[in-house]
Amino acid sequence: MRLLRDVGEHGFIRVLRERFPMQAAGDDAAVLASLETPVVTTDSFFEGTHFYRWWTTPEKTAARLLEATLSDIAAMGGEPRSVLSSIVVSPDMELDWILEFYRGLTSRTDCPVVGGETVKGSVFGVTLTAIGECGGKKPFLRTAVKPGDTLWVTGPVGRALDSPELLEKGRKQQLSPVEAAQTELFLSPVARFDAVPLLRGSGVEAAIDISDGLFSECIHLSRESGVRITVELERVPVVPYALNRAVEACSAGEDFELLFALPRSLPPPGRGFYMVGSATEGKGFAVTEKGTDKELSSQGYDHFTPVN
């Protein structure tokens, strides 16, 4: 078993470049082709805060983090072009584990790794900077929701509901089929680039990805667009595990579906999309259930709020 310290930084980088496609990598900075209406995003993930290595394979862990980062590009109506990867590693980490992790980071042929950095640290972490482009088209914006618009989601929410706890439970006993399916959904998100052309074709101008929970993202849209947003709880699609727990599903986060606004006069983008609410004149955010206002104890994930 070889450790990272056995090959050193330069040896590690050499092995990476030999094993995985890393276009434009090798110089002091990556040289990219010209982009039309570029969009750029960055995300940091650290073990113990965002994931644990024992949750799944290193390849699947990396692919999950990559898709989570790229989801922001999809939310802007862009297409992925490349990614920069900076990792924090201990010299005592297994080399094979890190190499399998990079296999996941290079799993998308449309988004090659073009560079990054390697830093020594006691906690394993990775920062991904994703670069995409809208191809001269107008990006989807959080500020573009208008009174009268309807609010839609591209798929069910609730993938993160109880998933870390279920993964821990699975170390001691066999999960039920529904529980196992829930953890698989949680560990295998896919950025919704497939939906972008359909949304554009329907006249969508406002969107956001559901990373911190449906309710939290509605609040973002309300504040940025200066409208009042109401979600009709009975309309919200949830994953099978979250049946009868819609409020919790809407607050769990890490769904990476898209929440978008559509003028009421326009037809829906197609099958597989769900209208969940509407925007009106005013401010704030509300949830109703069969026409009755519903009080909420949680509105979504907050990085700086302690977990009880």
Span 45-60, pLDDT tens digits: 999 999 999 999 999 9
**Domain boundary, last residue among 116, 133, 150:** 133
Among 33-37, 121-125, 196-200, 297-301, which is the least confidently predicted range? 297-301
Question: Strands 149-153, 274-280: parallel, antiparallel or unpaired by DSSP?
Answer: antiparallel
| More confident of the two residues 207 and 3 | 207
Is a pLDDT exceeding 90 seen at residue 74?
yes
pLDDT at residue 270, as a whole number: 83
At 215, is the pLDDT very low, low, confident or very high (cuts 50, 70, 90)? very high
For position 172, which CATH number holds? Answer: 3.90.650.10
Is a pLDDT exceeding 70 seen at residue 301?
no
**Domain boundary, last residue among 70, 99, 133:** 133
Do the domain assignments include residue 308? no
State mean pLDDT over 88-110: 92
Q: Do 33 and 74 lie in a common domain?
A: yes
Do the domain assignments include residue 258? yes
Q: Do 179 and 100 lie in a common domain?
A: no
State mean pLDDT over 17-43: 78
pLDDT at residue 26, as a whole number: 56
pLDDT at residue 189, as a whole number: 96
Please give the residue range of the domain that contains residue 238: 142-293
Q: Do 154 and 273 lie in a common domain?
A: yes
For position 129, which CATH number holds? Answer: 3.30.1330.10
Q: Do 118 and 233 lie in a common domain?
A: no
Question: Mean of the per-residue pLDDT values for the chain?
Answer: 90
pLDDT at residue 306, as a whole number: 38
Is a pLDDT exceeding 60 seen at residue 106?
yes
pLDDT at residue 75, as a whole number: 97
Do the domain assignments include residue 298? no
Is a pLDDT exceeding 90 seen at residue 11?
no
Do the domain assignments include residue 38? yes
Is a pLDDT exceeding 80 seen at residue 167?
yes
Q: Do 10 and 57 lie in a common domain?
A: yes
In this prediction the pTM is: 0.89
State mean pLDDT over 162-190: 97
Q: Do 67 and 168 lie in a common domain?
A: no
267 vs 197: CA distance, rounded Å: 15
Q: Do 91 and 151 lie in a common domain?
A: no
How many separate domains does the chain show?
2
Q: Pick from 130, 126, 127, 189: which is nearest to 157 by CA?
A: 189
**Domain boundary, last residue among 111, 133, 155:** 133
Do the domain assignments include residue 303? no
